[in-house]
A and B are shown apart, each in its own frame.
Chain A
């Protein structure tokens, strides 16, 4: 613990009191903004042992030099648990986590614009006997809408301090921090909490309303803007049209704007690789660094702009409150194949990369719904498939105008995207019907008022996926790249070898060994070899093919142009179509499987994912290869 504190905030533990504070509140109460306002960048994200729920800790110091560990708990309506997220909140608050230290103080976040929704949770928290401080958050917004409260009376009714705050405007934060210093004046009692049954929920509601009646000195108006915007955004036809427009912009951003910085990064890595390689062409260490580490890790890091772009869109949609509307609009459409409305966003993210997509499934409460979403996420066409698609399409699909307006190459690209979506939905239906039997979970979605996003929060939230992506690139992907470099370089070719070195390597031997298995779908051993390193990152297959066809030259474009021509001679059209089809379905990505393992906390699901994708890829390639041969000959 002390190390992480030092690393993340530069705060020393010496001579200071240490306090653990749990931050609890219902969803959409501004809890994350408050967490960010209190701790700034001194945050640490990890997983609770045994569960796949994120553990978010932040640190701050009070005026009296107490070091506070603030535990940000998942938003919940009640202390009783329904989703894995909510279970964590309950277990931390009730001190049922063996590995976690007990909480000294609870900071409850109450939405001042909607007291009735928040206060029932506060009453439940009171039952735990742990000292409680209330942050009456979004007080500025509540005032703006005309709400007025007798805060002193609220404090005396609840028998705990109530501090009005506005996390976004950063007002009241210092009062809140100062109140933490006075925590020892609050009494600790024994835990009287028990899971409320329906009658108790009703009792709590009655109590909440009698409290509100006595402290609400002026009733405010609901957000008029939200009501107006909802008329537009939730309109059955117009709303869907707006959603599609937002999605279009998102794709546009990912596939065209983000590719500009991506190009710069690629150039930097290429020249770095060339410089390092030129140091000593015969040294293995140099080869490892240049071809293994720089080329390999670089080929993954170049996707950072795309990950940041898609994360930015998702954070903005989340922060503004639009995300719940998207789930509303998509619920019935997704429900047709048994998916939950909330599965829409993770699947959408998967078009950039399945990894953030799978991570985004955490918002799906039900385990079965979440697993189905994770399983089909890799079928959405991710950006790493594009280099492969581009190469094969430009080599084998003629530039031709069909139906008077459409470009055939573009049409094929579109068909590949559509195939991923259609088969993703079909697989979801199959999983739901045969493996995850059971009725649908109800949808209960709060549609929060729209809010303008806060720049500070957006930036803090944007750093998180970037950090975790880079950390992964530096650990898992780095080690995989070293292994693959090793497999494709050893054993060394004999003295006067005529074929490229990779022929004699373990990868080459494995490729030739596996070739008979892939012959029915039209793959030769060179393709099989390319598929192996392509497991680390799909687009690596392109450069491996270039290496295998023993091309000289360092410029990427020369290689690609040359490769296009060479491929046209080396492969038949059925083989090329078969390979394209393979890439639509095959589990060509170790990182995705690793993330699926981490998120489901078991090897079972990534194994199932691997097997079904493999079978689907093989069967589809087999069909495409034979159909193409039948029609061409």
Chain B
């Protein structure tokens, strides 16, 4: 069965999934970083394939930024909606 991947930015508060792919080509608005750098920064802070991610909170304006819980509370991080677009998650895997 093939699972449909969904962008992390589309998840609502309380929803969760497992990170399957990080694809910089999906970035809606450019950021001032060279290619591959955003991906590397996300990896370094712990946003990496196979990690279980849960959306905890949104900011007030345009639901931005997004607070995420990684691996059931190992770490909590905040990123902006723009960057969350490039993170693809699989919601069907339960962890």
Q: How many residues of chain B have a CB within 8 Å of chain A?
A: 40
Contacts of A449 in B (CB 8 A): 76
Contact pick for B74, options A117, A341, A441, CB 8 Å: A117
Asked whether A205 is an interface residue with its Cβ less than 8 Å from the other chain, the reply is yes
B:43-87 near A, CB below 8 Å: 43-46, 48-49, 56-62, 64-65, 67, 69, 71-80, 82-83
The residue in B30, B72, B76, B82 that gathers the most chain A C-beta atoms within 10 A of its C-beta is B76
- Nearest chain A CB to B27's CB is how many angstroms away? 10
Contacts of A240 in B (CB 8 A): 60
Residue of B nearest to A446 (CB): B77
A:79-134 near B, CB below 8 Å: 82, 114, 116-117, 120
Contacts of A328 in B (CB 8 A): 57, 59, 65, 67, 78
> Do A77 and B74 touch (CB < 8 A)?
no
Question: How many angstroms from the CA of A568 to the CA of B91 in the assembled complex?
Answer: 72
The residue in B39, B45, B46, B57 that gathers the most chain A C-beta atoms within 10 A of its C-beta is B57
Question: How many angstroms from the CA of A198 to the CA of B41 in the assembled complex?
Answer: 9
Asked whether A331 is an interface residue with its Cβ less than 8 Å from the other chain, the reply is yes
Question: How many angstroms from the CA of A456 to the CA of B31 in the assembled complex?
Answer: 41
> Do B74 and A442 touch (CB < 8 A)?
no
Question: How many angstroms from the CA of A448 to the CA of B45 in the assembled complex?
Answer: 12
- Nearest chain B CB to A197's CB is how many angstroms away? 7
Question: Majority SS of interface residues in chain B?
Answer: mixed
Contact pick for A197, options B31, B40, B45, CB 8 Å: B40
- Nearest chain B CB to A231's CB is how many angstroms away? 8
Contacts of A202 in B (CB 8 A): 43, 48-49
> Do B60 and A332 touch (CB < 8 A)?
yes
> Do A234 and B67 touch (CB < 8 A)?
yes
Asked whether A78 is an interface residue with its Cβ less than 8 Å from the other chain, the reply is yes
Contacts of B1 in A (CB 8 A): none
> Do A77 and B45 touch (CB < 8 A)?
yes
- Nearest chain A CB to B55's CB is how many angstroms away? 12
> Do A331 and B80 touch (CB < 8 A)?
yes
Given contact pairs A77-B45, A234-B67, A439-B29, A332 touches B61 in the complex (Cβ within 8 A): yes
> Do B76 and A447 touch (CB < 8 A)?
yes
Q: Mark A582-620, 1 if CB is under 8 A from B, else 0.
A: 000000000000000000000000000000000000000
> Do B71 and A201 touch (CB < 8 A)?
no
Binding site for A on B (CB under 8 A): 29-33, 36, 38-46, 48-49, 56-62, 64-65, 67, 69, 71-80, 82-83
| 9 closest A-B pairs by CB | A222-B73, A236-B60, A234-B57, A447-B76, A445-B78, A332-B61, A439-B32, A201-B43, A438-B32
Q: List 25 A-B residue pairs with CB atoms under 8 Å apart, sorted by A's residue number.
A: A116-B74, A198-B36, A198-B39, A201-B43, A202-B49, A221-B73, A222-B72, A234-B57, A236-B60, A324-B78, A328-B57, A328-B67, A328-B78, A329-B60, A331-B65, A331-B80, A439-B29, A440-B29, A441-B33, A442-B38, A442-B79, A443-B83, A444-B78, A444-B79, A446-B75
